[in-house]
Amino acid sequence: MILELLALFLALALLLPPIFTSLFQTNRLPPSPTALPIIGHFHLLGPLIHRAFHRLSARYGPLFSLRLGSVPCVVVSSPDMAREFLRTNELSFISHANSIAINRLTYGSSLAFAPYGAYWKFIKKLTMSELLGGRTVSGFASLRAQEYRRLLRLLDEKSQRGGEAVNLTEELPKLANNIISHMMLGTSGSNHDDDDGRVEEARIVVREVTKIFGELNLSDFVWFFRKLDLQGFGKRIEAIFTRFDALVEKVISEREQLRDRNHMNKDDDGDIDDMAEVKHFIDVLLDYVDNEDAEMKLTRVHIKALIMDFFTAGTDTTAISTEWALAELINHPEVLQKAREEIDRVVGKSRLVSESDGPDLPYIQAIIKETLRLHPPVPLVIRKCVKQCMVKEYVIPEDTTVFVNAWAIGRNPNYWESPLDFRPERFLQAEKEGNMGPVDVKGQHFQVLPFGSGRRICPGMNLAVQMLPALVGSIIQCFDLTVAAAGSLSMEERPGFTAPRLHDLVCVPVSRLGPLNSILA
C-alpha cells in the first residue's frame, strides 16, 4: 500500500507540473473566439482576410489569437501592438511565414520569404547596393521618366482620337513591369514585339501569383490534408510555376548568350564593342554563379527566385498604389484641384512633373501617404515567431503565425480622426504640429505601415516613394480622367496577397494642356 502511494505520488509529481504549466501558458495567450474541431477559426474568415480580422478585432481587441487548423496565429490591429512585434521584440518575429504556394513559386530561395540568416543578409546587402539602394534608384531616373512618357503618349493618343477609353488597370502594371525589367534585366534584344509579349505574360503571371499567395490553402493549416489537394491549389501552383519558369529561363538564357557574345567581341585592348550593354542586376547575379570563390555561392535557382521576388513586389504593388490614388482623386475633385494648383505653381505647364520635383510638392506627397494609409498594397504584414516571446502579459509560442493588419491600423479611430475619409491634409497638419516630426510611411511611425518595418521592411520602398508622386503627378497634370459610371468609383477590393481594386479603372483621358507633343519630347 505504501509503495503504491509512493508510486502515485511520483507519477503526479512528474505529470502535474507540465499540465499546470501548459494551462498557465494557454491562459496567457491573447483572447480568442470559440474554435471548431479540426478547422479551428476558418469559419470566421472570408475572401478579404484583412477585413475579417478587422471585424474580429472590434470584438476581441487589438491583439487576439486564432487557430487556423493546427496552426496557432495572433492578429495585431493597433500601432502600439505593431511596435511590440516589429520593433521591441523584432528578433523573435524576424522570419516571414511561408506556404506551399510561396515555397514553390519562389523556389524556396527568395529575399522576401527566406529565413533570417546568412543567405538573407547577403542577398539583402547585394540588392540594396546594386539595385534598390538610393544611389542605384536615382541612377535609373531617366529610364523611369521614359516609361512615364510612354504611358502619357498612349493617353494623349486616346485623347486625340476623340475620347477613346483606356484601361489603366492593365496599363499601369505594364509600366511598372517595364521599369523592373530594365532595372533588373536590361533589354534582351532588338525585337520589341518579343519584349512587349514577354512583359504582358509576366504581368499576367504576377497577378496570378499575388492572388494565390493571399488565398488560404487548407493543406497549409490542417496536417492530415497536406498530401491532399482538396481545393485544387496544387494544380494551380504547378500551372503558374511552369509558365513563370519557362519565361524566366528564356530571359536568363538570352542574357547568358549576350554575355558570351560580348566576351568574344572584346577588342585587343579588352574593351567591349558598342554592341554591349551596361551591367544590370542579372549580370551581377550571374557573376556570382560563375565565381567559385564568391563569399556566397549562388545558383540559377537563386536568380529565378529573385526575379520572381522583384517582379511580384515591384510590379503589382506600384501599379495598385497608383490606381488607388487616381481613383481617390476622381472621387474627390476638390483634392484633385488643390493638387493641380500645387503642380502649376511649382512646375508650371511647359514641362512634366519629374521625380526631382517630389520634395517641392508636399500636397502630392500627402496624397500618396493618404492613399497608402487607406489602401496599403499589402494589407497584412505576416511574420513567424522563431522563439517563444512574451508580449505585454501574453506568451506567444514558437511557430505562431503573426498577422499585423496594416489595413486596419491605418483606419484605427484611436489614432486617426475620421479614419475612413480621404484627407491628405492630415499629413500636412501632422507636419505643422511637429511634436514627433512629420508622419512618414517608411516604417518609423506605426500608425501607417504600407511597407512594414524593421529589418524585413520592403526593400523596394525607396523605389516606390520615388516613383509614385511623379507618376501620379504627371498623369493629373496632363489629363482629366472621366469615367462612364455615374456617381463615385467603387472602392471594393479584390482578394489576394495584395489588395487591388475589384473593378478595372477604365476611363477616357481628356488633355488639359492641348496636344502634348512638345512637353513629351
Backbone torsions φ then ψ of 80, nearest 5 degrees: -60, -45
Q: Which of 125-134, 228-237, 276-285, 341-350 has the highest mean pLDDT?
A: 341-350
CA distances (Å), origin 11, targets 18, 188, 305: 12, 72, 53
- For the ranges 99-113, 168-182, 211-225, which has the lowest average pLDDT? 211-225
b/e 28-42 (16+ beta carbons within 10 angstroms → b): ebbebbebeeebbbb
What is the C-alpha separation between 79 and 415, in angstroms, rounded?
A: 8
How buried is 175 (Cβ within 10 angstroms: 0-12 exposed, 13-18 middle, 19+ buried)?
Answer: buried
Q: Cβ(306)–Cβ(285) under 8 Å?
A: yes
pLDDT digits (tens, 9 = 90+) for 322-377: 999 999 999 999 999 999 999 999 999 889 999 999 999 999 999 999 999 999 99
**Grid coordinates belonging to 68:** 487556423
pLDDT digits (tens, 9 = 90+) for 121-164: 999 999 999 888 888 888 899 999 999 999 999 999 999 888 79
Domains along the chain? 1-9+60-266+277-518 (1.10.630.10)
Q: Is 458 annotated as a binding residue?
A: yes
* Beta strands across the sheet bearing 506-511: 166-167, 506-511, 479-482
Q: How many residues does the chain have?
A: 521
Q: Cβ(143)–Cβ(183) under 8 Å?
A: yes
487 vs 49, more confident:
49
Residue written as cell 511649382?
346
162 vs 498, more confident:
498
Q: Hey, what's the torsion of the CAs at 115, 119, 120, 124, to 10 degrees? A: -170
Q: Name the average pLDDT for the chain.
A: 87
pLDDT at 36 over 80: yes
CA distances (Å), origin 264, targets 212, 256, 272, 275, 281: 43, 12, 9, 12, 21
| H helix or E strand, kind and range, residue 355 | none
Q: For position 467, what pLDDT does the model report?
A: 96
Residue written as cell 508622386?
469
- For the ranges 20-34, 120-134, 168-182, 401-415, which has the lowest average pLDDT? 20-34
Among 181, 222, 263, 252, which residue's Cα sits nearest to residue 35? Answer: 222
What is the C-alpha separation between 77 and 88, in angstroms, rounded?
A: 16
Cβ atoms < 10 Å from Cβ of 313: 25
Q: Cβ(420)–Cβ(370) under 8 Å?
A: no
Among 130, 134, 131, 109, which residue's Cα sits nearest to residue 120? Answer: 109
Q: Which of 31-40, 156-165, 421-430 has the highest mean pLDDT?
A: 31-40
The residue-averaged pLDDT of 291-313 equals: 89
What is the C-alpha separation between 273 and 180, in angstroms, rounded?
A: 26
pLDDT at 268 over 80: no
